[in-house]
Structure 1
């Protein structure tokens, strides 16, 4: 699967797509745009795919070549200046997995997140104590301070998604409810948090029982799908790796559609969210 390119954000992708649209509307080829820029055609291609940083001078030159007016040039350059500002997650970048760095921009523009979690509580539904206890076991390579920061980041992600009213549709195995993470108090608080989340209108939680039938995602690692509500940005799929901190990220239509179909099949077999609430009742 294709990995996200470092530094590529949703805002940069939107601007890159706009530059391509303006070039095509002006009836110019990439070669002609490159001539106006005094660069190679490959440079224009990379700019339009946001495979390189968007330089203010280059963008200004291209906009003038495409016949953009003063107001439009000012608007685009203003958008570029805002896009170049650090993302809200910038303070946590040192403790983030590499694949997360670009994906935070996508997550921040997401309208629906779907996730399959085979053995634990999905990350976006974890309590701070549960999340920290998971990292204590899975990420012994990190310092205690780094693990604290990662927990803080996760809580901030959850808060921002709630504020955006991003819908979360989570399918998890009941194995998570039978696996002690931390201690009994951590697990009790996590159950209470899951029960509260299941009552929210922006959350659909399905819990596949331990004695439930085999489904197409049984044994598959954690998979997360992002439905982005920005027309220029494709949906994304993330399949977490077996090694800590690794994942495959793809925005290929074929790959994303395949995972959507797998999740659809698994969700049909799993109990309805109302039944899943009963599984969380003491």
Structure 2
């Protein structure tokens, strides 16, 4: 029986990718693999996309169908227990967006997170007060308890990213520094946090000035690019939109490369990381 969905872990993603590679190396289609399982091809696709837990019996059957040797079968089955463990984010799953359930393992293993926000301070750099004020403004239909839980979850994400020394490369419009979120005290606290972040080795902050020319991301909504130094896990891009909480997740290499190029061009025309404080309000 599949476990309650809480999003795949990195170990889960790696094993799912490996199963897909073994199937392709064996020259079998998803339909042929499904025949070996006595299941629908959608089952194989869900396994390979890490959208369901890895059942030991199913994995063993697939490995035999793919021609894996005894040593490889023992190795993979030995990693199943770890792969199926719930991620650290499991306690917050009730207030997580669907894209977060799928992408939190990627963020939790990312070596670099690049982000663009046209109107607000990026989530991974927000103070608790600023984050809660954003939720109050954009998510008024949520209960106060759910907004509290979402704020707690974001703060835990920040702690995890900081602990793993992920490099945060944040690009924003100066409008994000002038958009009044909460009162003056909340904004002052947020500016202090940005100044502190800019002084850390694992952070890069750049800002497009209010009176500067348009750039390649001017009309683009919030973007986040995740880079994981694990060969089996490709770079992912999350493009957030409206209504709040909706997002497109992109991992097709050509599309991800296109977004990376846009970020590169936009960073070239933004403030130099060492001079970004000059545009602070």
Q: Which residue of 1 aligns with 2:223?
A: 223
CA distance, structure 2, for counterparts of residue 141 and residue 44 of structure 1: 38
Q: Which residue of 2 aligns with 1:94?
A: 94
CA distance, structure 1, for counterparts of residue 146 and residue 43 of structure 2: 38
Secondary structure of the 1:82 match is: helix
Q: Which residue of 2 aligns with 1:266?
A: 266
CA distance, structure 1, for counterparts of residue 183 and residue 41 of structure 2: 59
- 1:1-282 correspondence runs (5 A): 7-23=7-23, 27=26, 29-30=28-29, 36-39=36-39, 43-44=43-44, 46-50=46-50, 52-65=52-65, 66-69=67-70, 72-280=72-280
**Structure 1 unaligned blocks of 5 or more:** none
CA distance, structure 2, for counterparts of residue 172 and residue 52 of structure 1: 36
Conserved 8 A contact 2:106-2:228: yes
Scaled by the length of structure 2, the TM-score of the pair is 0.88
What RMSD, in angstroms, separates the aligned Cα atoms of the two structures? 2.4
CA distance, structure 2, for counterparts of residue 33 and residue 49 of structure 1: 14
Secondary structure of the 1:227 match is: strand
> In the TM superposition, what whole-angstrom CA distance separates every residue of 1:83-124 from its partner, at most 9, and x where no partner exists?
211111111111111221111111112111111111111111
**Structure 2 unaligned blocks of 5 or more:** none
Scaled by the length of structure 1, the TM-score of the pair is 0.88
**Number of equivalences:** 275
Deviation at 1:173, TM superposition (A): 1.1
> In the TM superposition, what whole-angstrom CA distance separates every residue of 1:63-96 from its partner, at most 9, and x where no partner exists?
34534325x4343223221121111111111111
Deviation at 1:149, TM superposition (A): 0.8
CA distance, structure 1, for counterparts of residue 42 and residue 242 of structure 2: 36
Conserved 8 A contact 1:117-1:223: yes
CA distance, structure 1, for counterparts of residue 270 and residue 61 of structure 2: 55
Conserved 8 A contact 1:7-1:53: no
CA distance, structure 1, for counterparts of residue 223 and residue 78 of structure 2: 36
Secondary structure of the 2:79 match is: helix
Secondary structure of the 1:111 match is: strand
Deviation at 1:42, TM superposition (A): 6.3
- Structure 1 residue runs of 4 or more that deviate by more than 6 Å after TM superposition: none
CA distance, structure 2, for counterparts of residue 261 and residue 131 of structure 1: 29
